[in-house]
Amino acid sequence: MLEISGKHKEISDKDLLDTYRKTSSLEVLGELYARYMHLVYGVSLKYFGDRSDAQDAVMHIFEKLVEDLPRHEVRNFKSWLYVLTKNHCLMEIRSKKSSDQRLEGLKIEQEFMESADELHPMDREDEIIEKALKECIEKLKSEQKQCIELFYYQKLCYQEIAEKLGINEKKVKSYLQNGKRNLKICLEGKNVR
């Protein structure tokens, strides 16, 4: 575990957060941050594409956390941190006036809106929508359908799907992604959410 110490493994994010608010102990905040630091790093890596920039960003985001946390009501730390991380990366890249094409169309999300709480129906394993879902899956393009079925119903991993279909893992992921998006649209049309 990359926890800063093993002492608080059982403690929930919320409790740690409350403790931090009461004590302002950096160690407590560090403990909480350590739980998600690898995710912050991964996302930073994606945006900066450079290991040392991304590592610096992880530390900057921690400082930002120290600064911002007292001023915000945070219910779900993980998703709040996600938004904070993304915004930090985007702002940083913008301030570097990078003309990088990847950034076209990326927008800074609403300041610290609690997002990402809503799960995709596919990831919810909800009985009620099962039927509607099946119908929608049938309507998908064949690659997307195949990937969704293999992944969610036959429980294969990306690698196995890739081998089975003779495509690379990246493609598998993007079919899954697009398939899920189309499913969502389809389900919304059926008034199932």
Cβ atoms within 10 Å of 72's Cβ, excluding its own: 12
How far, CA to CA in Å, does 123 sit from each of 59, 104, 127, 133, 178? 32, 29, 12, 12, 14
> Is 70 one of the binding residues for another protein (CB under 8 A)?
no
The sign of the torsion formed by the CA atoms of 41, 120, 116, 76 equals negative
Determine the interface stretch with another protein among 39-47, 97-105, 129-137, 181-189 (rule: CB under 8 A).
39-47
Cβ atoms within 10 Å of 145's Cβ, excluding its own: 18
Q: Which of 16, 17, 43, 147 binds another protein (CB under 8 A)?
A: 43
> Is 35 one of the binding residues for another protein (CB under 8 A)?
yes
> Is 159 one of the binding residues for another protein (CB under 8 A)?
yes
State the residues that interact with another protein by CB under 8 A.
1-7, 26-27, 29-30, 33-47, 49, 51, 54-55, 58-59, 62, 78-79, 81-82, 85-86, 116, 119-120, 122-123, 125, 151, 155-160, 176, 180
